[in-house]
Structure 1
Amino acid sequence: MSEVQNLLVLPRLRVQNANAISSQMTWGFPAISAFIGLMHALERKLATSNILLLFDGVGVICHDFEAQATENGFTRTFHLTRNPVDRSGGTAAIVEEGRVHLDITLVFAVRGDVCSGNEAERGALAKEVAEIVAGMRIAGGSVIPALPGRTSRSRPTLIPLEESGEERDEQFRRLKRRWLPGFTLVSRDDLLAQRFEEMREARPTATILDAWLDLSRLNHECHLKPIESAQGEIHEEVSWEIRRPPGWIVPIPIGYGALTEVFEPGTVANSRDAETPFRFVESLYSIGQWISPHRLQCPEELLWYVGNDLDAGLYRLNNDYHNRSTRA
């Protein structure tokens, strides 16, 4: 059963120069944590405007992706800017920054009394939220106006979902058609666990990092096929094939893991502020999959949400695509 009550849809947002370096080990599409951060920042901005809207999760559908990089054979190089000269008049060091232009649709699971208004009131609220988002950064990128002729496809909406199963399913099917063509990123922790078990059977010393790296690359495998010659002799023919796991899977960062205990506010030098507790962390990684929105069965399969375990020192993001799809 789906627990999402309302969906706030901000369609076809054009984002310029978003951050394409999602972690220390991955690049391409911005990290999901960037969109979770946008969700929290948006909720706070709305509160200051007396709009009491609570956000439970966010989904991202990518319609277009243009990495700002130059490709030369197997080598790709980011387009970098020349920084202004430093105080001495010398050339400042170049800090590598990856940028990407995006065309995305953001889908938020929201709650609040403001969601119970009529269609005109909900439309006005969604438009106001979209105007606030237009002045914010999305993954470090700037939101630019929609292209001419696409205003109807770019209209934000706040949609209360039906309670009954069949009507709710039909409503969600109509929404999914609006998000085509495009792809959405979902979590596939199950593929990582499955590959880890397979590697442990063949090599007991294999680690979860080995499984993650194995799923993150193209693997060329050697196959030996026995061939009988005209003289009746048997010899082996060697062929190389690329092992292609099913689906469009990618390595993704999913949050942070604690390296130290929590320090009291103000006890760590050069921390961002002296009022917030501080903790050293490192990135957590998993496997994600890009799928077409029409394959989603319910909103929960689309949405990402915060699933922290403070006792274990885990600050991670979760998505229920696999859990929901296996129960369907």
Structure 2
Amino acid sequence: MPDIHSLLVLPHLRVQNANAISSPMTWGFPAMSALVGLMHALERKLPVSLDIEFERVGVICHHFDAQVTQGGFTRAFHLTRNPIDKSGDTAAIVEEGRVHLELTLVFAVRGEVCHGSEEARDAAAKAVADIVAGMRIAGGSVMPSLSGQASRQRPALIPLDESDEERDAQFKRLRRRWLPGFALVLRDDLLAQRLSEMQQDRPDATALDAWLDLSRLNHECERIATTDEGGNPHDEIHWEIRRPPGWIVPIPIGYGALSDTFEPGTVANSRDTSTPFRFVESLYSVGQWISPHRLERPQDLLWYVDNDLDAGLYRLQNDYRTTNTIA
């Protein structure tokens, strides 16, 4: 991927009723593929006068309000009652998960306007924000800013300095603006590490076993040899919760091919008869929510498309790596 030259920041977007069902096996925050799709749709909607090319996208979540029942371990989505059908019967209810969000979106961009005057960059950022205000984000509606918050929610187009020292200073100032909040990054390395650990005890363990292990709360027991008041030896059992290395979540990261690519129009009931067709299934990995102040560089935050057509992989990638264990 090319170097990152400029960042377009759309701060504190209020999104209502976004899709909370991110894949057939996960729910919660919308899939990153929805935000990458937003980036591509936004680029197509830009007027010719706005010479901006979008390359990557990152997200910081400031507020998350899932529309679910509260209380107890079992939760259910708040569903809408559909109108009756043409025969007067009650229409079937299709379960749809919804969530209200407050997001900051960060795009890696390039173009002539990125090197223009500050006034030109501010005008371009505002024009992009106006377009996004009329779009859907993960199926949700973009709502107007709350009263009194518009001053700190101004979009910005920021060219990054060529000097590494000045670029680091720029990014540090941006990170402070994104607090409080949490940024979603990819942790393929944790999945590979956990798989290696499990295979030491269970050689037949698979990546799915490691993914499920990282996706749940694990209670483990430890047997401790001790003695009672009379000096007689006996064993005590202590149960503890194994703490994961940070706020780890299961996430979908794209799609894997299940079939060869079919010629356009050869598959019945496909949406587009002019585009090649391929059956796919969801790909999964683990992500981590981290505080923005832990990001060292823009590449840590940003996601991009990293397809391998020969292997049948249509997936997203993120270049975050850390040498420290985040508590």
Q: Name the TM-score, length of structure 2 as normaliser.
A: 0.97
Secondary structure of 2:293's counterpart equals helix
1:242 alignment counterpart: 241
1:265 aligned onto 2:264: yes
CA distance in structure 2 between the aligned counterparts of 1:326 and 1:4, rounded to whole angstroms: 23
- Whichever residue aligns with residue 87 of structure 2, its letter is S
CA distance in structure 2 between the aligned counterparts of 1:281 and 1:120, rounded to whole angstroms: 46
2:20 alignment counterpart: 20
Report the more deviating stretch, 129-138 or 48-57: 48-57
1:53 aligned onto 2:52: yes
Secondary structure of 1:77's counterpart equals coil
Report the more deviating stretch, 306-315 or 69-78: 69-78
2:209 alignment counterpart: 210
2:89 alignment counterpart: 90
- Whichever residue aligns with residue 126 of structure 1, its letter is A
1:30 aligned onto 2:33: no
CA distance in structure 2 between the aligned counterparts of 1:33 and 1:135, rounded to whole angstroms: 20
Secondary structure of 1:268's counterpart equals coil
2:296 alignment counterpart: 297
Following TM superposition, by how much is the alpha carbon of 1:140 offset from its aligned partner in structure 2, in angstroms?
0.2
What is the total number of aligned residue pairs between the two structures?
323
Deviations 1:216-261, CA, capped at 9 Å, x for gaps = 0000111111111222211111111111112000000000000001
CA distance in structure 2 between the aligned counterparts of 1:72 and 1:95, rounded to whole angstroms: 23
Q: Name the TM-score, length of structure 1 as normaliser.
A: 0.97
2:186 alignment counterpart: 187
CA distance in structure 1 between the aligned counterparts of 2:147 and 2:179, rounded to whole angstroms: 19
Secondary structure of 2:89's counterpart equals coil
1:100 alignment counterpart: 99
CA distance in structure 1 between the aligned counterparts of 2:70 and 2:260, rounded to whole angstroms: 43
User: Unaligned regions of 5+ residues in structure 1, if any?
Assistant: none
1:41 alignment counterpart: 41
Secondary structure of 2:220's counterpart equals strand
CA distance in structure 1 between the aligned counterparts of 2:241 and 2:177, rounded to whole angstroms: 35
CA distance in structure 1 between the aligned counterparts of 2:298 and 2:239, rounded to whole angstroms: 41
Deviations 1:281-310, CA, capped at 9 Å, x for gaps = 000000000000000000000000000000
Deviations 1:143-165, CA, capped at 9 Å, x for gaps = 00000101111100000011111
1:127 alignment counterpart: 126
* Identity between Structure 1 and Structure 2 (%): 72
- Whichever residue aligns with residue 204 of structure 1, its letter is P
Secondary structure of 1:70's counterpart equals coil
- Whichever residue aligns with residue 264 of structure 1, its letter is E
CA distance in structure 1 between the aligned counterparts of 2:7 and 2:51, rounded to whole angstroms: 15
- Whichever residue aligns with residue 284 of structure 1, its letter is L
User: Unaligned regions of 5+ residues in structure 2, if any?
Assistant: none
RMSD: 1.2
Secondary structure of 2:17's counterpart equals strand
CA distance in structure 2 between the aligned counterparts of 1:50 and 1:172, rounded to whole angstroms: 28
CA distance in structure 2 between the aligned counterparts of 1:71 and 1:285, rounded to whole angstroms: 28
Following TM superposition, by how much is the alpha carbon of 1:81 offset from its aligned partner in structure 2, in angstroms?
0.2
- Whichever residue aligns with residue 267 of structure 2, its letter is V
CA distance in structure 2 between the aligned counterparts of 1:141 and 1:156, rounded to whole angstroms: 20
Deviations 1:59-109, CA, capped at 9 Å, x for gaps = 000000000000231010100000011111100000000000000000000
Following TM superposition, by how much is the alpha carbon of 1:49 offset from its aligned partner in structure 2, in angstroms?
4.1
CA distance in structure 1 between the aligned counterparts of 2:310 and 2:52, rounded to whole angstroms: 29
CA distance in structure 2 between the aligned counterparts of 1:280 and 1:165, rounded to whole angstroms: 44
1:102-251 matched pairs, under 5 angstroms = 102-251=101-250
